[in-house]
DNA sequence: CTGTTAGCGCTTTCAC
DNA sequence: GTGAAAGCGCTAACAG
């Protein structure tokens, strides 16, 4: 009826006695430090395994004294999503401080490979861990690998560099996110047939390109009655997005769906709204799916202008990045299920 | 360019010196222990506040020696959702063990108020914290309050007892979950008009009742073309659910939507499927929204039988319950944003 | 009411 | 290669 999940209460000392060595030697083996004869290593490892010994993290943390330093390398522009991540890191201040963890924010032009790479190189040696919103570019990849080689733990955040040797990626699968957007647009349009517009920042951005890919995939295979128009590139700017979309809406009166891949949401909403004023009833309305829950998209969802937002929880991403860096630094296993970032579908009634 | 989030490096000793008292006195003040003159308390509190001092959790944890014991009181039946929660607790074994935390599972008939209350009473004094899947009943409420009075930290899990003095609820807002289900059914049905069926376990269960309430609310106000049929009570059993639903589908050929509030999903899907065999094209199909991602609902989503599942992440709930109990026991603040359980909309393309 | 002191279970010198 | 010993920053007796 009652089942215990964690029986261990042994200490390093017990293991030392059992293996017939001293505390220091067990510690060396535990951390794969050199200077122990191979068969001594085996004896100790056996004793550890036999008792499924878990060192007490609190004791380890206390003994090492030195506080850990982590750096977050983030885009310098006024991106609301990134600001949310920073805000959530700020909310963790007390938690971090109680664990003697130091987190520093470093702003960089992440769209400039050379600048980003330089920022990363500059961190070498000074930090136990680095989280970076990365651009997938050879020089960035090289900078990441250099950090890893220097012993720094590296996680990519929001945007990955899969070809690098980063230890972990904290973010969503953007192809699946695009597919999800596609399925939503298709299903919410219902029986109607017509055209679907896509507004992206740039098809050169890896995450945008992946989302578009996933979106088109679903459209092509599952919603043959809907035809997707060429992608508009609004550079994540409101004005430009509005102009491009307004022109498109004028040219194609039969647009029934819209996927906004990146930012520029304000402009997109404006263009849509202007069109709605000239149109007829509710069923003429365009299904509008975008990304991320911000003050603006929240309002648009409540007003019924936007139908759904695909979201990656910025608070979760911030905390997951810290926890993963900490686990890596401590040599603890990562709770992968916990750190996986989900693709959230947010509609008016489940707004967080 | 680089901004630090956690500067503190002081220790208890520093505070003691600054306040002109001993270590022990600072410790007493820090934990609101009695036996300190009021103005000494003030002096110490000032020193703490002035330096925004954060005691080192690792040191505190290590010094107290005694391991913490938590109990999870869960339903005894073969409920897949509860089994998932238990499985995720199992995955945390190493994490728990490295922190010297003991988690015990206690199975009880949670639908029997007296049995549940007795189980809770039996825990008194033995545990630092208790997580319980609770039934909202006076005797259960009393048992919870007794535990709280005895100094045990209590969180309700999945199902709340708001009238009790439990410290925290880890679970979703079920009214909002029902509203979300309603919005999904309504939007996915599209232009069609017709009837909507509801299958629940029992309207006597608080969470089911709340979900139905939210669902009806949205239906009434936003989808006037859809009329909701009286709730079928399948007692979360497959056979009973199937029979009831099959009969209803036979009687109303114009059913276009279905909300399955609880379990019994297998039976619901069977009834739907049998009907589909006799029906015509895809557009005749019934929009089917249910709860929770299990092996079964996952399959149904992939097959297109189910259109969406409203889900509360069981892994998140398990970990949140542990973290909240731990924070409460340590007297640490709770990261409320982190511990809040979201209402997930899961469709085929964002299956976790 | 307040202070002194002996650890908690590790990590880290420094000797051997 | 290996061991002994001095802490890390708290908590919890026990004295005063």
> Could you please report the per-residue DSSP string of B97-110?
HHTTEEEEEEEE-T
Of A2, A59, A218, the CB nearest to B349: A218
> What pLDDT score was predicted for residue B75?
87
> What pLDDT score was predicted for residue B112?
85
> Is the shortest CB-to-strand distance from A306 to strand D under 7 Å?
no
Min Cα separation A57/chain B (Å): 6
> What pLDDT score was predicted for residue B1?
47
Q: In angstroms, rounded to a whole number, what is the distance separating the alpha carbons of residues B325 and A94?
A: 18
- What contacts B293, CB < 8 A, 6 or more positions away? B301, B309, B311, B346, B351, B352
* Token couple for B52: 């925004």
Mutation pick from A3, A6, A344, A346 vs chain B, by most beta carbons of B within 10 Å, is A6
> What pLDDT score was predicted for residue A6?
44
Cα distances (Å, whole numbers) of residue B78 to B81, B84, B260, B293 = 9, 11, 19, 16
Q: In angstroms, rounded to a whole number, what is the distance separating the alpha carbons of residues B22 and B13?
A: 8
Chain A residue with the nearest C-alpha to that of B64: A58
DSSP B284-315: GPPEEEEE---HHHHHHHHHTS--EEEE--HH
Q: Which residue is nearest to nucleotide C12 (CA to C1')?
A: A64
Q: For residue B241, which of B203, B269, B206 has the smallest C-alpha distance?
A: B269
Question: Does the distance separating the beta carbons of B62 and A95 come in below 8 Å?
Answer: no
DSSP B41-94: HHHHHHHHHHTT----HHHHHHHH-S-EEEEEEEE-S--HHHHHHHHHHHHTHH
Instruction: Give chain A positions within 8 Å (CB) of B289.
Output: none
Kind and range of the H or E element at B334? none
Pair A5, B105: CB distance under 8 Å: yes
Pair B203, B209: CB distance under 8 Å: yes
Cα distances (Å, whole numbers) of residue B299 to A139, A222, B307 = 43, 18, 11
> Is the shortest CB-to-strand distance from B23 to strand D under 7 Å?
yes
Q: In angstroms, rounded to a whole number, what is the distance separating the alpha carbons of residues B293 and B308?
A: 10
> Is the shortest CB-to-strand distance from B66 to strand D under 7 Å?
yes
> Is the shortest CB-to-strand distance from B48 to strand D under 7 Å?
no
Question: Does the distance separating the beta carbons of B176 and A349 come in below 8 Å?
Answer: yes
> What pLDDT score was predicted for residue B278?
57
Q: For residue B129, which of B289, B319, B330 has the smallest C-alpha distance?
A: B330
- What contacts B112, CB < 8 A, 6 or more positions away? none
Domains and CATH numbers, chain A: 1-171+314-341 (3.40.50.2300), 174-311 (3.40.50.2300)
Q: In angstroms, rounded to a whole number, what is the distance separating the alpha carbons of residues A290 and A308?
A: 7
Q: In angstroms, rounded to a whole number, what is the distance separating the alpha carbons of residues A108 and A89?
A: 18
Chain B residue with the nearest C-alpha to that of A75: B1
pLDDT digits (tens, 9 = 90+) for A182-201: 999 999 999 899 999 999 98
Q: For residue A98, which of B295, B164, B9, B266 has the smallest C-alpha distance?
A: B9
Confidence band, pLDDT 50/70/90 cuts, at residue A1:
very low
Q: In angstroms, rounded to a whole number, what is the distance separating the alpha carbons of residues A334 and A336?
A: 5
Contact with chain A for residue B314, Cβ under 8 A: no
Instruction: Give chain B positions within 8 Å (CB) of A333.
Output: 94-95
| Residue at token pair 């330093």 | A69
Pair A156, A166: CB distance under 8 Å: yes
Cα distances (Å, whole numbers) of residue A70 to A88, A153, B4, B60, B212 = 15, 9, 10, 23, 47
Q: For residue B316, which of A168, A4, A155, A340 has the smallest C-alpha distance?
A: A340
* Positions of chain D reached by protein Cβ under 7 A: 1-14
Q: For residue B72, which of B92, B115, B102 has the smallest C-alpha distance?
A: B102
* Token couple for B182: 């309603």
Q: In angstroms, rounded to a whole number, what is the distance separating the alpha carbons of residues B171 and B313?
A: 9
| Residue at token pair 């069109």 | A275
Pair A12, A26: CB distance under 8 Å: yes
pLDDT digits (tens, 9 = 90+) for A62-83: 998 888 999 999 988 777 888 9
> What pLDDT score was predicted for residue A279?
54
* Token couple for A77: 């522009």
Is A204 exposed, middle or buried (CB count within 10 Å of its CB: 0-12, 13-18, 19+)? exposed
Touching A: B residues 249-288, CB under 8 Å: 283
Contact with chain B for residue A221, Cβ under 8 A: no
Confidence band, pLDDT 50/70/90 cuts, at residue A9:
confident
DSSP alpha helices (H): ranges in B190-345?
206-222, 238-251, 265-278, 295-303, 314-330, 336-339
Calculate the average pLDDT of chain A.
91
Q: For residue B291, which of B208, B169, B170, B197 has the smallest C-alpha distance?
A: B208
pLDDT digits (tens, 9 = 90+) for A26-62: 999 999 998 899 999 999 999 999 999 999 999 999 9
pLDDT above 60 (res A5): no
Q: Give me the numbers of helices (H) and strands (E) for chain B, helices first please.
A: 15, 13
Q: For residue A110, which of A205, A174, A203 has the smallest C-alpha distance?
A: A205
DSSP B108-119: E-TTSHHHHHHH
Q: How far is the CA of A330 from the C1' of C9 (A)?
A: 16
Mutation pick from B337, B339, B340 vs chain A, by most beta carbons of A within 10 Å, is B337
Kind and range of the H or E element at A284? none
Compute CA B288 distance to the chain's CA centroid, rounded to the nearest angstrom. 23
Instruction: Give chain B positions within 8 Å (CB) of A315.
Output: 337-338
Pair A319, A327: CB distance under 8 Å: no
- Segments in chain B below pLDDT 70: 1-8, 276-284
* Token couple for B322: 């542990």
pTM for the model stands at 0.90
B131 φ, ψ (degrees, to nearest 5): -110, 130
Q: In angstroms, rounded to a whole number, what is the distance separating the alpha carbons of residues B115 and A333?
A: 39
Min Cα separation A43/chain B (Å): 22
3-state secondary structure of B3: strand
pLDDT above 90 (res A347): yes
DSSP3 helix / strand / coil % (chain A, rounded to 5):
50, 15, 35
Q: In angstroms, rounded to a whole number, what is the distance separating the alpha carbons of residues A8 and A56?
A: 10
pLDDT digits (tens, 9 = 90+) for A80-121: 888 999 999 999 999 999 999 999 999 998 778 899 999 999
pLDDT digits (tens, 9 = 90+) for B23-36: 999 999 999 888 88
Min Cα separation B89/chain A (Å): 8
Q: For residue A130, which of A78, A57, A68 has the smallest C-alpha distance?
A: A68
Q: In angstroms, rounded to a whole number, what is the distance separating the alpha carbons of residues B318 and A186?
A: 35
Confidence band, pLDDT 50/70/90 cuts, at residue A323:
very high
Q: In angstroms, rounded to a whole number, what is the distance separating the alpha carbons of residues A118 and A114?
A: 6
């Amino acid at each position: 009826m009652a089942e215990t999940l964690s029986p261990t209460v042994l200490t390093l000392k017990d293991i030392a006695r059992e293996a017939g060595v001293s505390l220091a030697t067990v510690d060396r083996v535990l951390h794969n430090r050199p200077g122990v004869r191979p068969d001594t290593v085996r004896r100790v490892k056996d004793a550890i395994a036999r008792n499924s010994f878990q060192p007490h993290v609190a004791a380890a943390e206390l003994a090492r004294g030195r506080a850990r330093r982590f750096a977050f390398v983030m885009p310098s522009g006024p991106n609301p999503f990134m600001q949310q991540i920073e805000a959530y890191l700020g909310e963790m201040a007390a938690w971090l401080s109680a664990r003697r963890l130091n987190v520093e924010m470093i702003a960089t032009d992440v769209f400039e490979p050379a600048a980003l790479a330089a920022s990363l190189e500059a961190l070498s040696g000074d930090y136990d861990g680095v989280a970076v919103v990365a651009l997938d570019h050879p020089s960035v990849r090289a900078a990441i690998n250099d950090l890893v080689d220097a012993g720094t733990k590296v996680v990519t955040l929001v945007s990955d560099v899969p070809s690098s040797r980063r230890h972990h990626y904290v973010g969503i699968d953007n192809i699946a996110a695009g597919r999800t957007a596609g399925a939503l647009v298709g299903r919410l349009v219902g029986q109607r047939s017509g055209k679907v517009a896509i507004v992206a920042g740039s098809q050169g951005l890896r995450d945008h390109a992946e989302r578009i890919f996933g979106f088109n995939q679903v459209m092509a295979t599952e919603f043959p009655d809907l035809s997707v128009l060429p992608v508009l590139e609004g550079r994540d700017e409101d004005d430009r997005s509005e102009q491009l979309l307004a022109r498109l809406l004028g040219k194609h009166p039969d647009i029934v769906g819209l996927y906004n891949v990146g930012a520029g949401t304000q402009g997109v909403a404006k263009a849509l709204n202007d069109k709605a004023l000239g149109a007829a009833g509710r069923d003429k309305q365009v299904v509008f799916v975008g990304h991320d829950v911000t003050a603006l998209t929240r309002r648009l969802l409540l007003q019924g202008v936007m139908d759904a937002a695909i979201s990656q929880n910025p608070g979760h991403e911030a905390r997951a990045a810290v926890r993963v860096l900490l686990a890596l630094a401590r040599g603890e296993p990562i709770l992968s299920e916990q750190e996986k970032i989900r693709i959230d579908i947010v509609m008016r009634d489940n707004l967080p």
